Chain A
Amino acid sequence: MGKLAGKKLILLGERDGVAGPAMEESLKNSGADIVFSVTECFV
C-alpha cells in the first residue's frame, strides 16, 4: 500500500484531457476510496 492508501480521492477529469472514469480505473487499486469522479468540459 502506498501514499494514497486510506485517502479520500476526488477525481476532477476533463473531456479534452484525462476523463474521470480513466482516472478511476487507474487508481481503483491504490487503496484509496474514490469519493466521486467527474468529467467537466469547457465550452
Chain B
Amino acid sequence: MDLQNQQRVKDAAEKFGPENVVVVLGSSDPEGAEIYAETVTNGDPTFAGPLAGVSLGLAVYHVFEQEIKEEADPSIWEEQIGMMEMVLDTEALAEAVKKIREQYSKYSL
C-alpha cells in the first residue's frame, strides 16, 4: 500500500480509535486484497511503510462482501459498482479479505 495512505490509516486509527474505523477495499485481485487487508490489521508485510510492525487490527471488508453491500444505496450501487461486480471474481475477493480478517482483525461489524 502507498506509504502516504498507510500514514493516513494510522492517523485515522489514532484519532478515532481503532474500534470505530472500518476499511473497505475495492481491489481487483485476491492477492492484492490480501496485502491491503493484512496491512491494516497485522501491519505492512513489506516492512516499508508507517504500518510496518503496527498491528492496528482494524475491521476490513471488501466492498463486495454482504456486510458492506447491504449498507449501500441499491440504485447508486447498480450505477457505480454493478458493472465491476459482473466482471470481477467477487467470491474470491470476499473470501480473501474474510480470511485475513478472521486471522488478524480485532474488530468487525
Contact = CB atoms under 8 A, between A and B. Distances in A.
B8 interface: yes
A15 to B, nearest CB: 8
Interface of A: 2-4, 6-14, 16-23, 25-30, 32, 35-36, 38-40, 42
Contact of A4 (B5, B9, B28, B71): B71
7 contacts: A9-B23, A17-B29, A21-B80, A23-B24, A26-B77, A26-B80, A29-B73
Task: Give the interface size class of chain B.
Answer: 20 to 34
Contacts of A32: 22, 71
B12 A26 contact: no
A35 B12 contact: yes
